[in-house]
A and B are shown apart, each in its own frame.
Chain A
Amino acid sequence: AQTVTQSQPEMSVQEAETVTLSCTYDTSESDYYLFWYKQPPSRQMILVIRQEAYKQQNATENRFSVNFQKAAKSFSLKISDSQLGDAAMYFCAYMNSGGYQKVTFGIGTKLQVIP
């Protein structure tokens, strides 16, 4: 079974600074998808960024980028120029490709942005 580990329960970052959230996963599959979701205090879970395992290039989305290390099974999220609105729970998630829709989530990292 796949597992997703987020080892940082809480993180804080100064506004306008950069922060990196860690995620590792365990799988025996070679083709899969990885996601970072953000859940602000209002609770709506929002997709931040997504990475296909077969793509070597790291995904980016504006101020958000990932460092995908397939061999190490690591998928960290970097938030640049942090803003107050970035404060939220961040969940790392994994999904097999090939007809299997089950998404495995990590336990989450709570990010605090300090003005």
Chain B
Amino acid sequence: ETGVTQTPRHLVMGMTNKKSLKCEQHLGHNAMYWYKQSAKKPLELMFVYNFKEQTENNSVPSRFSPECPNSSHLFLHLHTLQPEDSALYLCASSQVILAGGSSTDTQYFGPGTRLTVL
């Protein structure tokens, strides 16, 4: 596998279900991201992880729970979702340069998980 992979590619779940989205990056990066992509709206950044530590939570409801066990893997745990949470969820990774904490590198995206909440 190369680049950024995501599983599953499609997920249909009921509002009472619990499921998880998985992301894996094979690029040696140290930062990972979750985005939500809805029709007719710009991509929305949800979470940022640097070196496995969450550094940004962009006011995401608690029914979305991220987990980053190591720099290569990122999960998004889902529970009691709402129909309006149906969207394409994209994972991305980048290399954050340590000195001064500046990030000058590009974010590389996975293919996404198409989530439908019934």
Binding site for B on A (CB under 8 A): 4, 33, 35, 37, 42-47, 50, 91, 95, 97-108
Contacts and interface: CB of A to CB of B under 8 A. Distances in A.
A44 B111 contact: yes
B41 A107 contact: yes
A30 to B, nearest CB: 14
B96 interface: yes
Given A50-B106, A107-B40, A107-B41, A101 B111 contact: no
Interface residues of B, number: 29
A100 B42 contact: no
Interface string B28-57: 000101000000111101001010000110
B112 interface: yes
A101 B88 contact: no
Interface in B52-107: 55-56, 88, 90, 92, 94, 96, 100-104, 106-107
Contact of B102 (A45, A91, A98, A105): A98
Nearest to B100: A99
A87 B102 CA distance: 34
A101 B110 contact: no
A81 to B, nearest CB: 25
A43 B43 CA distance: 13
B107 A33 contact: no
Nearest to A99: B101
Closest 7 CB pairs of A and B: A45-B109, A99-B101, A105-B43, A44-B111, A105-B42, A101-B103, A99-B102
